């Protein structure tokens, strides 16, 4: 394996991602960990480990993005998540479109032009109800593994509507539904519908149009993907590594100088 030509770091609120690319922009290796309280040391350790895995090489340029990007030591540049996600999608897929990125603490909708630059964007970073934390929190309340939520939503034969767009109020609805003996899978399906409705409404503000691209950890949830296709009438495209889109874009920006 050849040495890294550039490194991208996405220091997110819930996960820290580090990506190495070669001189052609191909992804060589990556590391992903749950974000630690001491993010500065964590990011430095991940970079050192990744570069070490790839063999002796001159220190490659590093670009940092994410909410903790100012804490990434040695970064040549610190670039916004919007720009890095747009560049990462374009680099991975070769075209623009509407990107919906659903992370642990926020969600973004970005309209990406054919040159890989963001044309418009909208962001929800104030309320957990449109993020992965919404599913994680409610999974804990229901006693269901997060990885099982999507399949159970798809397998449900009924649906219990969740009208609240606030995580706290949605939890109250869930407790009420459980108390009435509602089917657990029907509740899970309703939770997915609620999240997708909020996300699609945000995406429409940037001019939702095909191709529709989904990234972030929640992109791995088949229930969310299926309901987004149903709500929009568009096929959902996933980049090769949905959780690494921002870090990959940062690495490409580092490579380009």
Residue closest to 216 by CA, chosen among 171, 179, 248, 254: 248
For range 207-230, the mean pLDDT: 94
Residue 197 forms part of a structural domain: no
Q: Is the pLDDT of residue 206 over 70?
A: yes
Instruction: Tell me the two tokens of residue 108.
Output: 């973004």
Model confidence at 110, pLDDT cuts 50, 70, 90, reads very high
- Kindly report, residue by residue over 120-165, the tens digit of the pLDDT: 999 875 555 567 777 888 888 888 999 999 999 999 999 988 876 6
For range 218-246, the mean pLDDT: 95
Residue closest to 249 by CA, chosen among 124, 125, 85, 113: 85
State the CATH number of the domain containing residue 29. 3.30.420.40
Which pLDDT score is estimated for 59? 81
Report the number of distinct structural domains present in the chain: 1
Which pLDDT score is estimated for 16? 94
Which pLDDT score is estimated for 173? 82
Residue 154 forms part of a structural domain: no
Q: Is the pLDDT of residue 100 over 90?
A: yes
Q: Is the pLDDT of residue 1 over 90?
A: no
Residue 71 forms part of a structural domain: yes
Which pLDDT score is estimated for 170? 74
Which pLDDT score is estimated for 166? 64
> Domain range spanning residue 45?
6-89+244-256
Residue 95 forms part of a structural domain: no
62 Cβ partners below 8 Å, 6+ apart?
6, 7, 8, 9, 47, 72, 74, 75, 76, 254
Model confidence at 17, pLDDT cuts 50, 70, 90, reads very high
Instruction: Find how far residue 136's CA is from the centre of its chain.
Output: 14
Pick 101 or 176 by higher pLDDT. Answer: 101
Residue 70 forms part of a structural domain: yes
Which pLDDT score is estimated for 177? 86
Residue 11 forms part of a structural domain: yes
Residue 45 forms part of a structural domain: yes
Model confidence at 4, pLDDT cuts 50, 70, 90, reads confident
């Amino acid at each position: 394996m050849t040495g890294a030509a550039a490194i991208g770091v996405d220091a997110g609120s819930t996960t820290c991602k580090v990506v190495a690319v070669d001189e052609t922009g191909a992804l060589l290796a990556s590391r992903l960990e749950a974000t630690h309280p001491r993010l500065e040391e964590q990011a430095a350790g991940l970079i050192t480990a990744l570069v070490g895995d790839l063999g002796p090489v001159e220190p490659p340029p590093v670009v940092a993005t994410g909410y903790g990007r100012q804490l990434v030591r040695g970064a040549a540049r610190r670039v916004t998540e919007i720009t890095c996600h747009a560049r990462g999608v374009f680099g991975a897929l070769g075209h623009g479109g509407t990107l919906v990125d659903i992370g642990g603490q926020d969600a973004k909708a970005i309209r990406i032009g054919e040159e890989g630059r963001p044309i418009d964007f909208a962001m929800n970073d104030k309320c957990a109800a449109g993020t992965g934390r919404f599913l994680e929190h409610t999974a804990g309340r229901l006693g269901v593994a997060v990885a099982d939520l999507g399949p159970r939503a798809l397998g449900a034969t009924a649906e219990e509507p969740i009208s609240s767009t606030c995580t706290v109020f949605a939890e109250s609805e869930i407790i009420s539904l459980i108390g009435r003996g509602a089917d657990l899978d029907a509740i899970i399906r309703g939770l997915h519908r609620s999240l997708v409705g909020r996300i699609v409404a945000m995406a429409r503000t940037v001019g939702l149009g095909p191709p529709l691209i989904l990234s972030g950890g929640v992109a791995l949830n088949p229930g969310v993907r299926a309901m987004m296709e149903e709500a929009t009438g568009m096929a959902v495209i996933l980049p090769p590594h949905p959780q690494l889109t921002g870090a990959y874009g940062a690495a490409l920006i580092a490579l380009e100088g």
